[in-house]
Structure 1
Amino acid sequence: MTGKFISIRGAREHNLKNVDLDLPRDSLIVMTGLSGSGKSSLAFDTIYAE
């Protein structure tokens, strides 16, 4: 493990517009939002960053 956080920088996929995010490792994280708001895109960006 390289750090305590998974960092996403400048995510621009579908409805995401230049999103920066630090997610804690080894934690349950819940994302909520309207249909089409970019939740799945953000989840896949997070998996890719991991």
Structure 2
Amino acid sequence: MTESVLDYMTRLGRAAREASRVIGRASTAQKNRALQATAAALDEARA
């Protein structure tokens, strides 16, 4: 069964709101570690 665009966008929006809540509760140090890990993963993917 295929997912409609509306269903997909609704699901994506809910996931984004939850991610925002999680990030909002994270400390600055946790956010910095997450950003560093993301940057390292992007560098690795480009190599």
Q: TM-score, normalised by structure 1?
A: 0.30
Q: Which structure has more strand as a fraction of its residues?
A: 1
Q: Which has the higher contact order (CA 8 A, sep 6+)?
A: 1
Structure number with bigger Rg = 2
